[in-house]
Amino acid sequence: MKVLKEVMSWIIPVIIGLAIAFAIKQFVFTRVRVDGPSMEPNLQNNEKVFAFKQSKVKHLSVIVFDAHGEDPSAKANTNYVKRVIGLPGDTVTSKNGYIYVNKKKIKQSFISESERNAGTGNWTLASLQKSNGWGNGTTVVPKGKYFVLGDHRSVSNDSRYWGFVNKDKVLGVVKVPAWTSNKTRRANVNGLAY
């Protein structure tokens, strides 16, 4: 009986600790590894960040989402990290390296002018759908969906090529921890959403 009490005295706290860790990962946040260069210069390949599940998705939020079923080339259990440009009901266009949301030019201080010009291109939502074979020619982001772009536009596989991201595929809003990265890159990920 004494041995059983002693064993239970350390097993119960371990079980409780594991249950709390599981609940935090399931409902609060999860750790994510960035894979590839599509979010450079703000997030680097293999950088570890947190995805907060309860955070509200806003314009310019960086999100993690399940890409399987969104991008036709994405395999099961593949997550992408991208920046939200368009929310439901928004019009999104690009002209001469500038992105316009609802006809208003958005600040893109999170990437350089050369990055904007080299990779953004000139398009509307309807022209992207027609040239890349997705969607039905809609001119606004549909209800329950987001339009996302990578920060490194010339190498990013994003909404321009395969369409909108379903809201229910979003795993969380990315936050870069204070002990990693530099102040500017952290601000470009953590502090731009509006």
The torsion angles phi and psi of 125, rounded to 5 degrees, stand at -60, -40
**Nearest CA among 150, 153, 79 for reference residue 115:** 153
Q: Where are the alpha helices (DSSP H) in the chain?
A: 2-27, 113-119, 125-132, 159-162, 183-190
- The residue annotated as part of the active site, out of 61, 82, 145, 156, is 82
Is 38 an annotated catalytic residue?
yes
Across the strands, what pairs with 52?
A: 29, 173
Strand partners, 166: 145
Can you say whether the dihedral through the CA atoms of 105, 110, 116, 120 is positive or negative? negative
Residue tagged active-site, from 2, 9, 25, 38 = 38
- Long-range CB contact pairs, 107-116, < 8 A, 24+: 109/188, 110/42, 110/60, 110/83, 110/151, 110/188, 110/192, 111/41, 111/42, 111/151, 111/152, 111/153, 112/41, 115/41, 115/151, 115/152, 115/153, 115/154, 116/153
How is residue 64 written in tokens? 């993690």
Q: Which residues are catalytic?
A: 38, 82
